[in-house]
Structure 1
Amino acid sequence: MLQQVNRRQRKLALFTLAPAMAVFGAFWLLPFTRLVAMGTELDRASGMSAYFAILTQRQYLVSLGTTLGISLAVSALAVLIAGVAGFFLARHSFPGKAVLVAILTFPLAFPGVVVGFLVIMLGGRQGALAQFSMWLLDERWMFAYSLSGLFVGYLYFSIPRVITTVMAACETLDRSLEEAARSLGAGSWRVTRDVIIPGIAPALLSTAAICFATSMGAFGTAFTLGTRMSIMPLTIYGEFTNYANFAMAAALSVVLGVITWLALSLARKLAGTSLGAPA
């Protein structure tokens, strides 16, 4: 009787998983397998394997390094700025708090193209900063069409992700641990360093990884600000559309996907370690 129940449960599990597995295989596994295989073909520009060309050709190394650098910087600064803001919002109540939280998280509703357009409105040729500098010094200050503008755009849509995650994590913190630390003579900085930060560390790690992965693959914002910047999404787009270099586009896509997957996996592992660490 027990064996029959177990068989039914296994059949039911297979039946319920079948649609998800079919979608996974059709829309991810098969295309990605084809992408990996295509990356082994010869690069049209160098005549060598596309994966090998990424490691030997300067333009691809620069693109990869720039993308890694800006993504790491955005993730670190977003966690620093929004982590403090999220903790403050989670611990304090004041008139208009709900409106402020809604405003701070509103960028989550914007696609990358809109974020890029907002950066142009701020730091473009006719943006607010250019208009102000023309009035003040009779010269235009611009940053929109550069890596600085891209950094601002990535930071803009990363901050709301951190704020919402940190606020949720702060709600689960055990305040008795903070009270115990203060009763033992710990100051505010000591409590923050030894109790609060370790308590929300898994949330900080996971949201930093999400910001990193999002920045690594963000295309709409970069494309809106200019297609001449040397970052991976634009490089993939250029190889695919401008040069029909499908092998290189595939290889770059695989490398980009592997890097973001490793970052997410490492963050998940570290977050799990933090959750299981002794107090």
Structure 2
Amino acid sequence: MKLNNHRPGGGNATLHFMMKHNFSRLILLLPALMISLTFFLLPVGKLIWLSLADGTGQSYWSIFTQPTYYRSLLSTVVLSVLVTLVSLVIATISGLFLTRYQFRGKSLLIAMLSFPLAFPGVVIGFFVIMLAGRQGMVAQASLALVGERWVFAYTMAGLFLGYLYFSIPRVVLTVMGAAEKLDHNLVEAGRSLGANRWQILRDVTLPALTPGLISSGSVCFATSMGAFGTAFSLATDINVLPMTIYTEFTLNANFAMAAALSLILGAVTWLCLALARLKGATSLNMGG
């Protein structure tokens, strides 16, 4: 004779528990869903509708055919790539040095390196003007040395300097965090096998830092693509996408073009972040 070990109503109790558990998860997700709907889906939907208001999508075609728009897009991408690459090089060297060596004033130096994160873009633009503007330190020094003022604050070089100023701290802090977790046994093993400093850096250190470098580099690129405050402060001879969007929206009242440019900017930035996430996950799985 077989005994029935199932309690009466056990199935209903299990079903009730699962429903209650799913409802609890839905309640927890509700704030995130509301924020996504309010601040992402609805605005993006509105931008798509505005960009296609004429029914032809002519705004998108104009971005890649009219010099004003495609040069703005190209210059923004090139500038962001250059800022990202230079930031990664400087921040990797600085981050490894700060992680490996102890010296007096190290904490103060790290605090100073992270100081730019406290300033908005407009203030950073003002810093660039004080450094390389018409009355800046570079202009005053060049006037005294060669008899002419060197002014580059209001050009792409000045914008590059401003973006670099607030990009380096982000990467430095990420590199330091990744370097502190580096397995020093691997470094010692490389030295015992006769590897020199550069071989250890190439074959051990950089592969271990790769996920962090990819992550911080993608954030640096995305920030440079969409930064507005610094560009607005230095916008005399600068043609980057955030300024073009601002001009089309506020001065020309060309809402369709402003919406199309915003979507293109968002698409390029999102693609970079998606590729970086995929590449970072691949590097992590490969032990990089």
Fold match (TM-score > 0.5): yes
Q: In the alignment, is the contact (CA less than 8 A) between 2:51 and 2:259 conserved in 1? A: yes
Question: Partner residue of 1:6?
Answer: 18
1:197 correspondence with 2:206: yes
Return the offset for 1:72. Answer: 0.2
| Matched position secondary structure for 1:15 | helix
Q: In the alignment, is the contact (CA less than 8 A) between 1:123 and 1:130 conserved in 2? A: yes
- Compare CA radii of gyration and give the structure with the larger one: 2
- Over aligned residues, Cα RMSD in angstroms? 1.4
Question: Partner residue of 1:145?
Answer: 154
Q: 1:227 to 1:123 in 2, by over 3 A?
A: closer
Return the offset for 1:3. Answer: 2.8
Q: Which runs of 5 or more residues in structure 2 are unaligned?
A: 1-12
Structure-to-structure mapping, 1:109-188, within 5 angstroms: 109-188=118-197
> Structure 1 residues 247-256 or 228-237, which shifts more?
228-237
| Matched position secondary structure for 2:169 | helix
Return the offset for 1:199. Answer: 0.1
Query: 2:90 & 2:222 partners in 1: Cα distance?
Result: 18
Q: Give the paired residue count.
A: 276
The C-alpha deviation readout for 1:27-68, integer Å capped at 9, x for no partner, is 21111111012112349xxx9611111121111110000000
Q: Scaled by the length of structure 1, what TM-score is found?
A: 0.96
Q: Scaled by the length of structure 2, what TM-score is found?
A: 0.93
Query: 2:126 & 2:37 partners in 1: Cα distance?
Result: 36
Question: Partner residue of 2:3?
Answer: none
Return the offset for 1:278. Answer: 4.4
Query: 1:155 & 1:97 partners in 2: Cα distance?
Result: 22
Question: Partner residue of 2:40?
Answer: 28
The C-alpha deviation readout for 1:213-243, integer Å capped at 9, x for no partner, is 0000000000001254211000000000110
The C-alpha deviation readout for 1:124-175, integer Å capped at 9, x for no partner, is 0000011111111221011101000000000010000010000000111111
1:149 maps to amino acid? G
2:25 maps to amino acid? A
Question: Partner residue of 1:17?
Answer: 29
1:193 maps to amino acid? R
> Structure 1 residues 3-12 or 156-165, which shifts more?
3-12
Identity, % of aligned pairs? 51
Question: Partner residue of 1:252?
Answer: 261
